[in-house]
Amino acid sequence: MQTTPLNPEDPLELGDFELLGRIGHGGMGQVFLGESLGGEPAAVKVIKPSVVDSESRLRFAQEIEVLKTIWGPRIAAFLGADADAEQPWLATEYIDGPDLARHVKTHGPLPPVLTAALGAILAEALSAVHTQGLLHRDLKPANILLGPNGPKIIDFGLAAFTESSVSLTAPHQVVGTPICMAPEQAAGVKPLTAAVDVYALGALLLFAATGHYPHEAATPYMVFHLVTDPGTAPDLSGVPAELVPLLSGMLAHDAETRPSLTDVVQQCRSLIEAQGMKIAQARRRLTTHTADQQHGQTSAVCVVSLRRAWAIFMPCASI
């Protein structure tokens, strides 16, 4: 994962975490690369001072409570937080790798068997999240990090307790990312069910296999219209034939007709085994595939940098 130097106005530490650089940013905040007193790397999320108010603190506190509740090998681990600090912050496990969106844009779609392996891994992880009484509600390629030990899910900022009567959104307010959003979520239906994460995972796997989403348009409003229109089928162009039944089921307009996450895991296993592989082999191959491509890209950058440095110091050298 690429980092950039801290800006002059950035804090140097938050809680017990020293801040080393910037990882990324969004509308609400900045994410820093941090390090604990014991040297544990962390991704430290901070709310921008310009948006700190009682509601943003409440949302941030809810995200912290969610992360304290969930656990699992495919979930970025909670390391610490302070929602009441002058600059509210949240630290989670640092995953050294690109997100799925960047990986696909840089290296192209995943092969079908690796897409199935990714589906099995994430469906099993989401099933565990649901068992703990939560929905993610904002699953998308940018929220899947491809680390050296395999993919992990991040950003539970929009997660909701499925049985909770407490909500920070108005009755018909829609939250989430339109390109991966289930029709009922886009329509503002409440309460939502596990089927919204099944749809989002289907949209994510479609992107992993093809580089495009079920519905794409010039504006978010137009995407909302396409997603909520039962007469507009998701765009499955370019999907390998063996993945079509799985993705068409996951992207069904009617939530009740979508497969369960357990069914998704089983279908992904069947696809992998049809290629003469074990699920564990496919998982390892996925991790190796993404790590090798990332390493190749890093090596290429290093070679270019070395060539440029050599040219600066030895302008007459032939390289």
pLDDT confidence band for 280 (50 / 70 / 90): very high
Higher model confidence: residue 8 or residue 50? 8
CA dihedral 282→126→202→148, nearest 10 degrees, is -40
What pLDDT score was predicted for residue 162? 55
Note whether residue 293 is domain-resident. no
| 201 and 135 assigned to the same domain | yes
| 104 and 88 assigned to the same domain | no
| 276 and 153 assigned to the same domain | yes
Q: Of 93, 121, 147, which residue sits at a domain end?
A: 93
Note whether residue 32 is domain-resident. yes
| Helices of type H across 95-212 | 100-107, 112-131, 183-186, 195-210
Sign of the alpha-carbon dihedral angle for 189, 192, 194, 197: positive
Q: Is 150 helix (H, G, I), strand (E, B) or coil?
A: strand
Percent of the chain with pLDDT over 90: 70
Sign of the alpha-carbon dihedral angle for 77, 80, 81, 87: negative
Higher model confidence: residue 84 or residue 48? 84
In this structure, the strands spanning 29-35 and 134-135 are unpaired
For residue 17, pLDDT beyond 90: yes
**How high does pLDDT run on average in the chain?**
87
Q: If you average pLDDT over residues 305-313, what whole number do you get? A: 31
- Among candidate residues 120, 98, 6, 96, the one with its CA nearest the CA of residue 43: 96
Percent of the chain with pLDDT over 70: 86
What pLDDT score was predicted for residue 166? 40
For residue 170, pLDDT beyond 80: no
Q: Which residues make Cβ contacts (< 8 Å) with residue 112, sequence separation at least 6?
A: 209, 240, 242, 243, 271
175-209 in b/e form (b: 16+ CB < 10 A) is ebbbbbbbbbbbeebeebbbbbbbbbbbbbbbbbb
What pLDDT score was predicted for residue 247? 98
Residue with tokens 């050296």: 148
Q: Return the structure tokens found at 145.
A: 């990090």
| 114 and 168 assigned to the same domain | yes
| 61 and 108 assigned to the same domain | no
* Domain tally, the chain: 2
φ, ψ dihedrals at 154, nearest 5° = -125, 175
Are the C-beta atoms of residues 22 and 7 closer than 8 Å to each other? yes
In this structure, the strands spanning 13-14 and 160-161 are unpaired
What pLDDT score was predicted for residue 175? 53
Q: Of 73, 93, 113, which residue sits at a domain end?
A: 93
Note whether residue 57 is domain-resident. yes
Note if 138 is an active site residue: yes
| 113 and 255 assigned to the same domain | yes
The predicted model scores a pTM of: 0.86
| 70 and 105 assigned to the same domain | no
For residue 169, pLDDT beyond 90: no
| 227 and 256 assigned to the same domain | yes
Note whether residue 86 is domain-resident. yes
CATH of the domain at 246: 1.10.510.10
Note whether residue 77 is domain-resident. yes
Are the C-beta atoms of residues 96 and 147 closer than 8 Å to each other? yes
CA distance 168 to 62: 9
C-beta atoms surrounding 1 within 10 Å: 18
| 76 and 151 assigned to the same domain | no
Q: Which residue range forms the structural domain that includes residue 122?
A: 100-280
| 144 and 208 assigned to the same domain | yes
Note whether residue 185 is domain-resident. yes
Per annotation, catalytic residue among 138, 235, 254, 263:
138
| 123 and 271 assigned to the same domain | yes
| 39 and 185 assigned to the same domain | no
CATH of the domain at 32: 3.30.200.20
Q: Which residues make Cβ contacts (< 8 Å) with residue 229, sequence separation at least 6?
A: none
What pLDDT score was predicted for residue 76? 94
Note whether residue 257 is domain-resident. yes
What pLDDT score was predicted for residue 297? 55
